[in-house]
Structure 1
């Protein structure tokens, strides 16, 4: 068994391709019209095609259920926020810092799929180390094993 990718149904595939490319830097690997695979390891499927696959009516395809997300990491979260602010998106929540120190933002794509963009965890570790914490203090602050912190510093 081999896991291949996550697929999300979208109403307007051209709009979605543009959104994921322009905001999140995802390139098209394969474009079959109704199905588009992107570099992040996920695919877009037109809702019309998706309906046919699962034998459902358009009214039975639910968007905005808030039960899953596509997760991305970014080394420069402040730079990403500058870019994000130039787009019209609906926020799930603004940029915030989780208890383990990672800064994240969540927002919706054009079809109300949740997108999370978080700081790369190695950047979080580096920020704590650069701020004067030891490896052990960083592990304690982040509630992770010391070996995890050391691996991110390597």
Structure 2
């Protein structure tokens, strides 16, 4: 990583390998990139310290893990409560991705639940308790054509 915080080509190549296989060992990465293992170890450590790599985790297909509903929910919130509502919503285990947005809605989020009953419960019991929410609009995915969260720019 350069001193200005930007990724260099080696960082990008390491990240690419880790995105393809998060279980790749430092020695395997070093062999593929033809650099010393110590270089890979140090680079990964720095990428983690700077927050580029947040954590290593399995990317699970929710449909094969018993979750049949992936939904996107647009949330409209009273202006003075947007940040607080986003903070509260981000703590809910069903929420995979959440952001404060521009445009027609204040907050956009992706949730994953087991079935329609669980979605209904989430909407009524959990979203319904968050102060300041004026309305929501829910769209359920009928199929997923691409599933991936990260890419190296």
TM over 0.5: no
Higher relative contact order (CA 8 A, sep 6+): 2
TM-score normalised by structure 1 residue count: 0.26
Larger relative strand fraction: 1
Larger relative helix fraction: 2
Higher gyration radius (CA): 2
